[in-house]
């Protein structure tokens, strides 16, 4: 028989990896210490990662870990890092950026001309260590220099994890983050030092980084282009819908939403978007 609070190691009942009372206690403590509510995240994902953290922090039971967390604000930061996955790379899914360059960005610039707008607002939500918004900044500087000179183009990268945003601010990357980056971009926009790539200030300055919880709201503003790739997969279906509905509200009519390759719009939300490219998951707000 299992002691209360003990982590079970069976692979069968993932949602029971941590006993419910201990799980709820940890959720409450985390919310109090950091403001992060785990409501909406896929339970099985959170349970699995939480169990791993309890073990690697050296606790035999989730109850003991909860008591430690209560007394240790630094541990709350470590836990957030464990619960949120930060895998990213420059030019992740290069064909998505090719499509943005070929169709979406030219259309957005044309819209600015037609309407006499002088500003264009882009956000990368769940930007991790900044690879996605910086890729957009490089692509715009490289391909649309004239528009960049004429328009006020704002690129905002947001994430819930403050530590990963600090990594984004430093903008120094290892080789693994660069494997899809074209050689010309590496040469022009990075300085290579001792195996690390340092992103040049001219690109860093194009991106504002913002600490923000997507579950609370979409960052304030009216957006022309929202990228939220490989973030929704961590949320349950109901919260995915709430989030995508809030994207639809925050985008201007004709603005674009880009999701990750494995993420989709539910049938209830299809009425709010036109599918521009089903493979690249690019949608336009009706």
Ligand X SMILES: C[S@@+](CC[C@H](N)C(=O)[O-])C[C@H]1O[C@@H](n2cnc3c(N)ncnc32)[C@H](O)[C@@H]1O
Query: How far, in Å, CA of 78 to CA of 30, rounded?
Result: 11
- Least Cα distance to 131 among 189, 217, 46, 211 occurs for 189
Size of the site for ligand X (CB under 6 A): 23
Residues 13-72 that bind ligand X (CB under 6 A): none
Query: How far, in Å, CA of 86 to CA of 147, rounded?
Result: 32
Asked if 280 is part of the footprint of ligand X (rule: CB under 6 A), the reply reads no
In the set 61, 84, 135, 181, which binds ligand X (CB under 6 A)? 84
| Token representation of residue 32 | 């109090």
When the beta carbons of 112 and 168 are compared against ligand X, the nearer one is: 168
- Yes or no: say if 252 and 224 are a contact pair by the CB < 8 Å rule: yes
When the beta carbons of 112 and 244 are compared against ligand X, the nearer one is: 244
When the beta carbons of 147 and 161 are compared against ligand X, the nearer one is: 161
- Yes or no: say if 34 and 160 are a contact pair by the CB < 8 Å rule: no
Q: Give the pairing of strands 223-228 and 251-259.
A: parallel
Min dist CB 160 to ligand X, Å, is: 4
Min dist CB 140 to ligand X, Å, is: 17
In the set 25, 27, 53, 92, which binds ligand X (CB under 6 A)? 92
Q: Binding mask 143-182 vs ligand X (x if CB under 6 A, - otherwise)? A: ---------------xxxx--x------------------
When the beta carbons of 108 and 136 are compared against ligand X, the nearer one is: 136
Query: How far, in Å, CA of 170 to CA of 75, rounded?
Result: 23
Query: How far, in Å, CA of 237 to CA of 153, rounded?
Result: 33
The residues that bridge with 156 in the sheet, in sequence order, are: 123, 208
Residues 99-138 that bind ligand X (CB under 6 A): 126-128, 132
Q: Binding mask 213-242 vs ligand X (x if CB under 6 A, - otherwise)? A: xxx-------------xxx--x--------
Min dist CB 229 to ligand X, Å, is: 4
DSSP assignment of 221-270:
S-EEEEEE-SSGGGB-HHHHHHHHHHHHHHEEEEEEEEE-TT----GGGG
When the beta carbons of 54 and 160 are compared against ligand X, the nearer one is: 160
Residues 177-206 that bind ligand X (CB under 6 A): none
In the set 5, 26, 79, 88, which binds ligand X (CB under 6 A)? 88
When the beta carbons of 120 and 160 are compared against ligand X, the nearer one is: 160
Question: Could you tell me how many residues make up the chain?
Answer: 286
| Three-state SS sequence of 53-76 | HHHHCCCCEHHHHHHHHHCCHHHH
Judged by the rule CB under 6 A, the positions of this chain that interact with ligand X are 84-88, 92, 126-128, 132, 158-161, 164, 213-215, 229-231, 234, 260
């Amino acid at each position: 028989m299992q002691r209360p609070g003990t982590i079970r190691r069976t692979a069968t009942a993932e949602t029971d990896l941590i006993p419910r009372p201990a799980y709820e206690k940890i959720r409450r403590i985390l919310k109090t210490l950091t403001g992060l509510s785990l409501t909406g995240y896929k339970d099985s994902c959170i349970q699995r990662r939480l169990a791993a953290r309890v073990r690697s922090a050296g606790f035999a039971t989730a109850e003991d870990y909860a008591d430690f967390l209560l007394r240790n604000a630094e541990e709350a930061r470590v836990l957030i890092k464990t619960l949120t996955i930060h895998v990213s790379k420059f030019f992740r899914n290069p064909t998505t950026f090719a499509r943005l360059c070929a169709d979406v960005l030219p259309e957005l610039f044309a819209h600015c001309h037609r309407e006499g707008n002088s500003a264009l607002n882009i956000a990368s939500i769940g930007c991790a260590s900044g690879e996605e918004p910086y890729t957009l900044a490089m692509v715009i500087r490289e391909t649309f220099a004239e528009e960049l000179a004429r328009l006020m183009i704002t690129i905002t990268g947001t994430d819930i994890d403050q530590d990963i945003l600090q990594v984004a601010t430093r903008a120094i990357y290892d080789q693994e983050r660069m494997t899809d980056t074209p050689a010309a971009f590496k040469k022009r926009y990075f300085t290579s030092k001792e195996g690390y790539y340092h992103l040049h200030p001219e690109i860093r300055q194009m991106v504002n980084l913002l600490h923000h919880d997507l579950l609370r709201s979409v960052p304030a503003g009216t957006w022309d282009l929202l990228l939220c790739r490989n973030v929704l997969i961590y949320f349950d279906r109901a919260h995915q819908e709430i989030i995508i509905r809030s994207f639809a509200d925050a985008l201007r009519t004709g603005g674009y939403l880009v999701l990750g390759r494995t993420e989709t719009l539910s049938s209830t939300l299809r009425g709010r978007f036109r599918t521009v490219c089903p493979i690249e998951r690019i949608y336009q707000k009706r």
